[in-house]
Amino acid sequence: MEQTEARPRGTRLPRVARRNQLLGAAREVFVAQGYHAAAMDDIADRAGVSKPVLYQHFPGKLELYLALLDQHCEALLQAVRRALASTTENKQRVAATMDAYFDYVEQEGGAFRLVFESDLTNEPAVRERVERVSMDCAELVSAVIAEDTDLPEEQSKLLAVSLCGMAQVTARHWVASGRRVPRDVAKGLTASLAWRGIAGFPMQPQS
Protein backbone atom coordinates (compact mmCIF):
# COMPACT_ATOMS: atom_id res chain seq x y z
CA MET A 1 0.00 0.00 0.00
CA GLU A 2 1.21 3.48 -0.84
CA GLN A 3 2.32 5.28 2.32
CA THR A 4 1.74 8.93 3.13
CA GLU A 5 4.97 10.44 4.40
CA ALA A 6 4.46 11.69 7.92
CA ARG A 7 5.85 15.15 8.57
CA PRO A 8 7.53 16.15 11.82
CA ARG A 9 5.07 17.68 14.24
CA GLY A 10 5.00 21.43 14.08
CA THR A 11 5.65 21.70 10.34
CA ARG A 12 3.32 24.37 8.98
CA LEU A 13 1.49 23.74 5.73
CA PRO A 14 -1.05 25.77 3.76
CA ARG A 15 -4.57 24.76 4.75
CA VAL A 16 -5.37 22.91 1.50
CA ALA A 17 -2.08 21.02 1.61
CA ARG A 18 -2.64 20.11 5.25
CA ARG A 19 -6.16 18.88 4.49
CA ASN A 20 -4.87 16.70 1.67
CA GLN A 21 -2.14 15.34 3.92
CA LEU A 22 -4.70 14.46 6.59
CA LEU A 23 -6.95 12.78 4.04
CA GLY A 24 -4.01 10.72 2.79
CA ALA A 25 -3.19 9.59 6.31
CA ALA A 26 -6.84 8.85 7.02
CA ARG A 27 -7.11 6.74 3.87
CA GLU A 28 -4.24 4.55 5.00
CA VAL A 29 -5.67 4.08 8.48
CA PHE A 30 -9.27 3.47 7.40
CA VAL A 31 -8.28 1.04 4.64
CA ALA A 32 -5.98 -0.89 6.99
CA GLN A 33 -8.22 -0.93 10.07
CA GLY A 34 -11.77 -0.19 8.93
CA TYR A 35 -13.87 2.66 10.27
CA HIS A 36 -14.77 1.18 13.64
CA ALA A 37 -11.25 0.13 14.64
CA ALA A 38 -9.59 3.34 13.43
CA ALA A 39 -8.99 6.11 15.95
CA MET A 40 -8.38 9.81 15.41
CA ASP A 41 -5.17 9.38 17.42
CA ASP A 42 -3.96 6.86 14.83
CA ILE A 43 -4.69 9.27 11.99
CA ALA A 44 -3.03 12.21 13.71
CA ASP A 45 0.03 10.10 14.43
CA ARG A 46 0.18 8.88 10.84
CA ALA A 47 -0.03 12.47 9.57
CA GLY A 48 2.54 13.71 12.10
CA VAL A 49 0.18 16.27 13.64
CA SER A 50 -1.43 16.77 17.02
CA LYS A 51 -5.03 15.70 17.44
CA PRO A 52 -6.19 19.33 17.88
CA VAL A 53 -4.76 20.10 14.41
CA LEU A 54 -6.75 17.20 12.97
CA TYR A 55 -9.91 18.50 14.65
CA GLN A 56 -9.31 21.97 13.18
CA HIS A 57 -9.97 20.45 9.76
CA PHE A 58 -12.51 17.73 10.60
CA PRO A 59 -14.83 17.96 13.60
CA GLY A 60 -15.05 14.20 14.05
CA LYS A 61 -14.18 10.78 12.66
CA LEU A 62 -17.39 10.47 10.64
CA GLU A 63 -16.87 13.86 8.96
CA LEU A 64 -13.32 12.84 8.07
CA TYR A 65 -14.52 9.52 6.68
CA LEU A 66 -17.23 11.22 4.60
CA ALA A 67 -14.76 13.73 3.18
CA LEU A 68 -12.50 10.87 2.17
CA LEU A 69 -15.41 8.94 0.70
CA ASP A 70 -16.50 11.99 -1.31
CA GLN A 71 -12.98 12.34 -2.70
CA HIS A 72 -12.76 8.76 -3.89
CA CYS A 73 -16.32 8.54 -5.17
CA GLU A 74 -15.58 11.58 -7.30
CA ALA A 75 -12.37 9.95 -8.55
CA LEU A 76 -14.32 6.93 -9.80
CA LEU A 77 -17.00 9.06 -11.42
CA GLN A 78 -14.42 11.15 -13.25
CA ALA A 79 -12.58 8.00 -14.40
CA VAL A 80 -15.77 6.61 -15.96
CA ARG A 81 -16.58 9.97 -17.53
CA ARG A 82 -13.11 10.16 -19.10
CA ALA A 83 -13.39 6.60 -20.38
CA LEU A 84 -16.68 7.28 -22.14
CA ALA A 85 -15.37 10.52 -23.64
CA SER A 86 -12.11 8.95 -24.83
CA THR A 87 -13.58 7.59 -28.09
CA THR A 88 -16.77 7.51 -30.15
CA GLU A 89 -16.24 3.85 -31.10
CA ASN A 90 -18.47 1.82 -28.82
CA LYS A 91 -16.32 -1.31 -28.61
CA GLN A 92 -13.44 0.84 -27.39
CA ARG A 93 -15.78 2.71 -25.05
CA VAL A 94 -16.67 -0.57 -23.37
CA ALA A 95 -12.99 -1.53 -23.07
CA ALA A 96 -12.08 1.91 -21.69
CA THR A 97 -14.87 1.75 -19.11
CA MET A 98 -13.80 -1.70 -17.93
CA ASP A 99 -10.22 -0.45 -17.73
CA ALA A 100 -11.34 2.53 -15.64
CA TYR A 101 -12.62 0.17 -12.95
CA PHE A 102 -9.51 -2.01 -13.04
CA ASP A 103 -7.33 1.08 -12.78
CA TYR A 104 -9.42 2.39 -9.90
CA VAL A 105 -9.11 -0.71 -7.77
CA GLU A 106 -5.40 -1.04 -8.54
CA GLN A 107 -4.16 2.54 -8.29
CA GLU A 108 -6.09 4.13 -5.45
CA GLY A 109 -4.02 2.70 -2.59
CA GLY A 110 -6.88 0.49 -1.50
CA ALA A 111 -9.31 3.41 -1.33
CA PHE A 112 -11.78 1.47 -3.47
CA ARG A 113 -12.48 -0.54 -0.31
CA LEU A 114 -13.98 2.57 1.27
CA VAL A 115 -16.41 2.84 -1.64
CA PHE A 116 -17.25 -0.80 -2.36
CA GLU A 117 -16.40 -2.61 0.90
CA SER A 118 -17.11 -0.09 3.64
CA ASP A 119 -17.82 -1.41 7.14
CA LEU A 120 -20.04 1.62 7.73
CA THR A 121 -22.87 1.13 5.22
CA ASN A 122 -25.35 1.09 8.12
CA GLU A 123 -24.62 4.84 8.40
CA PRO A 124 -27.17 6.59 6.10
CA ALA A 125 -24.70 9.25 4.90
CA VAL A 126 -22.22 6.56 3.85
CA ARG A 127 -24.82 4.33 2.23
CA GLU A 128 -26.24 7.28 0.29
CA ARG A 129 -22.82 8.19 -1.13
CA VAL A 130 -21.98 4.61 -2.09
CA GLU A 131 -25.33 4.09 -3.80
CA ARG A 132 -25.14 7.48 -5.49
CA VAL A 133 -21.73 6.96 -7.09
CA SER A 134 -22.80 3.57 -8.43
CA MET A 135 -25.92 5.10 -9.95
CA ASP A 136 -24.08 8.18 -11.23
CA CYS A 137 -21.60 5.96 -13.08
CA ALA A 138 -24.47 3.91 -14.46
CA GLU A 139 -26.27 7.09 -15.57
CA LEU A 140 -23.22 8.09 -17.61
CA VAL A 141 -23.17 4.70 -19.35
CA SER A 142 -26.95 4.68 -19.70
CA ALA A 143 -26.91 7.98 -21.59
CA VAL A 144 -24.58 6.48 -24.20
CA ILE A 145 -26.69 3.33 -24.55
CA ALA A 146 -29.92 5.32 -24.89
CA GLU A 147 -28.36 7.61 -27.49
CA ASP A 148 -26.96 4.78 -29.61
CA THR A 149 -29.82 2.26 -29.44
CA ASP A 150 -33.58 2.29 -29.71
CA LEU A 151 -33.99 1.13 -26.13
CA PRO A 152 -36.20 3.08 -23.69
CA GLU A 153 -34.53 5.00 -20.89
CA GLU A 154 -35.27 2.50 -18.11
CA GLN A 155 -34.00 -0.43 -20.18
CA SER A 156 -30.84 1.50 -21.01
CA LYS A 157 -30.33 2.21 -17.32
CA LEU A 158 -30.78 -1.46 -16.41
CA LEU A 159 -28.12 -2.48 -18.93
CA ALA A 160 -25.80 0.25 -17.66
CA VAL A 161 -26.18 -0.93 -14.05
CA SER A 162 -25.33 -4.46 -15.23
CA LEU A 163 -22.22 -3.31 -17.09
CA CYS A 164 -20.92 -1.18 -14.22
CA GLY A 165 -21.69 -3.91 -11.72
CA MET A 166 -19.79 -6.44 -13.81
CA ALA A 167 -16.82 -4.09 -14.07
CA GLN A 168 -16.48 -3.33 -10.36
CA VAL A 169 -17.17 -6.86 -9.08
CA THR A 170 -14.74 -8.40 -11.56
CA ALA A 171 -12.04 -5.83 -10.84
CA ARG A 172 -12.39 -6.35 -7.09
CA HIS A 173 -12.24 -10.12 -7.50
CA TRP A 174 -9.11 -9.71 -9.62
CA VAL A 175 -7.40 -7.79 -6.81
CA ALA A 176 -8.69 -10.07 -4.05
CA SER A 177 -7.46 -13.18 -5.89
CA GLY A 178 -3.93 -11.80 -6.05
CA ARG A 179 -3.92 -10.56 -9.67
CA ARG A 180 -3.10 -14.07 -10.88
CA VAL A 181 -4.42 -13.16 -14.32
CA PRO A 182 -2.36 -10.38 -15.96
CA ARG A 183 -4.27 -7.10 -15.89
CA ASP A 184 -4.45 -6.69 -19.67
CA VAL A 185 -5.83 -10.21 -20.01
CA ALA A 186 -8.33 -9.74 -17.18
CA LYS A 187 -9.53 -6.42 -18.53
CA GLY A 188 -9.69 -7.81 -22.07
CA LEU A 189 -11.78 -10.80 -21.02
CA THR A 190 -14.20 -8.60 -19.11
CA ALA A 191 -14.46 -6.09 -21.95
CA SER A 192 -15.00 -8.88 -24.49
CA LEU A 193 -17.83 -10.38 -22.45
CA ALA A 194 -19.44 -6.97 -21.95
CA TRP A 195 -19.11 -6.02 -25.62
CA ARG A 196 -20.53 -9.32 -26.91
CA GLY A 197 -23.56 -8.68 -24.76
CA ILE A 198 -24.20 -5.00 -25.44
CA ALA A 199 -23.35 -5.25 -29.13
CA GLY A 200 -26.42 -7.44 -29.63
CA PHE A 201 -28.76 -4.50 -29.13
CA PRO A 202 -29.78 -2.63 -32.30
CA MET A 203 -28.16 0.67 -33.13
CA GLN A 204 -30.32 3.73 -33.62
CA PRO A 205 -30.47 4.80 -37.28
CA GLN A 206 -28.24 7.84 -37.78
CA SER A 207 -29.87 10.92 -39.31
Domain ranges of the chain: 14-59, 68-197
Could you tell me if 24 and 57 are in contact, meaning their C-beta atoms sit under 8 angstroms apart? Answer: no
DSSP per residue over 161-204, as a string? HHHHHHHHHHHHHHHHTTS-S-HHHHHHHHHHHHHHHHTTSPBP
DSSP code, position 5: P
CATH T-level topology, domain 14-59: Arc Repressor Mutant, subunit A (1.10.10)
pLDDT at 12: 75
pLDDT by position in tens, the chain (length 207): 444 544 445 567 788 999 999 999 999 999 999 999 999 999 999 999 999 999 999 999 999 999 999 999 999 999 999 999 999 999 999 999 999 999 999 986 899 999 999 999 999 999 999 999 999 999 999 999 999 998 999 999 999 999 999 999 999 999 999 999 999 999 999 999 999 999 998 787 654
Domains 14-59 and 68-197 share a fold: no
CATH of 68-197, one of 1.10.357.10, 3.40.50.300, 3.40.50.2000, 3.50.50.60: 1.10.357.10
pLDDT at 204: 73
pLDDT at 7: 46
pLDDT at 203: 80
The predicted model scores a pTM of 0.89
